[in-house]
Amino acid sequence: MTAPLATDPLSITLTHCAKTWPDGTRALAPLDLEVRPGETLALLGPSGCGKTTLLRLICGLERADAGATIHFGEQAVTDVAPESRGVGVVFQGYALFPNMSVAENVGYGLKIRGVAAAARRDRVREMLALVELEALADRRIDQLSGGQRQRVALARAIAIQPRVLLLDEPLTALDARLRQQLRVDLAKLLRRLGITCVIVTHDQEEAMMLGDRVAVMSAGRLEQLGEPETLYRAPASPFVADFLGTLCRLEGAVVRRHLGVDTLAFRPHEIAIVAPGEGLPATVQARFFLGSQVRLELALEDGQRFTALVASNAPWQPDARVGVRMADAAPAALEEVASC
């Protein structure tokens, strides 16, 4: 009988987790966070925001400041060494062992656990089939492409049937096209495994696609935690709004005169371009054809600049005078953000 792909999912509960480096730098302000059983949580933020530190606290490679507790399900793991935590980790550069073949890398965790050779071989084969690399079992690591290495790292992490799976920027090292493809594969695989997973990324699209929920972090703090759609439509702070896609902001007398509000915040696809005389008067400064859309760079009469993404058959050319208003489907929520 084949072993299940993963064990029953556990929750990860962090209470009052903070991290201060020996030189006194605060990497992480005290935070509470719960990752639900079977959920994929994406930690999103710019580099240096503490997201990787948080991941390393969960897998035990860093120790949190005194007073913190970490639980996997009911079990307290705060003082448990990384080798006993039962976590599967995919590292940013993959950290594959150069002195071992693909199969040996995937089977290393099982060998350490004393799994018999025959059972180990079966499990390795199963894992390699899962990431579609059966044919490369005997290859050396330096004979693999970036995408293949990423999949070996994933297979190695899953092979030990970890209690939780942690991925540190798993797709960053790859080129854009491959990243798109592997992102889809990874999303499918995570859903199939049903394992509790934390994924660190600085790419908002990746976070929204892979995460059931997304935790946006900035300067060692948790800015907002929620489902991708909530974060996008109702960001709790200008930082979150700005980080999850472009946010344009217009204010001043012109806006007040034409729209009756002090400020207007919107995403480039949320405005409609209409005939001059309607809405807010603006001038097209530049036009970029992007295939499915056209990107217009516009300016108000007082010089404020903003961007609009409109249908690719939009006729406006540079120097055209147009009117701008919020598209009918645009949510009103963003206006509130602008005032915070």
Give the binding site for another protein (CB under 8 A): 59-61, 81-89, 91, 93, 95-99, 108-109, 112-113, 140-142, 144, 156-157, 160
Between 24 and 98, name the residue whose CB sits nearer to another protein: 98
135 Cβ contact list (under 8 Å, min separation 6)? none
Q: How far apart are CA 317 and CA 284, in angstroms?
A: 7
Between 85 and 269, name the residue whose CB sits nearer to another protein: 85
Between 5 and 234, name the residue whose CB sits nearer to another protein: 5
CB of 34 to another protein, least distance (A): 22
Please report the DSSP string for 72-101 in residue order. Answer: ETTEE-TT--GGGT-EEEE-TT----TTSB
Q: How far apart are CA 151 and CA 127, in angstroms?
A: 10
Please report the DSSP string for 169-221 in residue order. Answer: STTTTS-HHHHHHHHHHHHHHHHHHT-EEEEEES-HHHHHHH-SEEEEEETTE
Between 56 and 269, name the residue whose CB sits nearer to another protein: 56
Q: How far apart are CA 60 and CA 56, in angstroms?
A: 6
Q: How far apart are CA 88 and CA 299, in angstroms?
A: 50
Between 104 and 297, name the residue whose CB sits nearer to another protein: 104
CB of 74 to another protein, least distance (A): 21
> Is the separation of the CB atoms in 160 and 154 below 8 Å?
no
CB of 21 to another protein, least distance (A): 13
Write phi, then psi, for 141 (nearest 5 degrees).
Answer: -65, -35
CB of 292 to another protein, least distance (A): 37
CB of 155 to another protein, least distance (A): 12
The sign of the CA dihedral 211, 214, 220, 222 is negative
Between 84 and 313, name the residue whose CB sits nearer to another protein: 84
63 Cβ contact list (under 8 Å, min separation 6)? 57
CB of 163 to another protein, least distance (A): 12
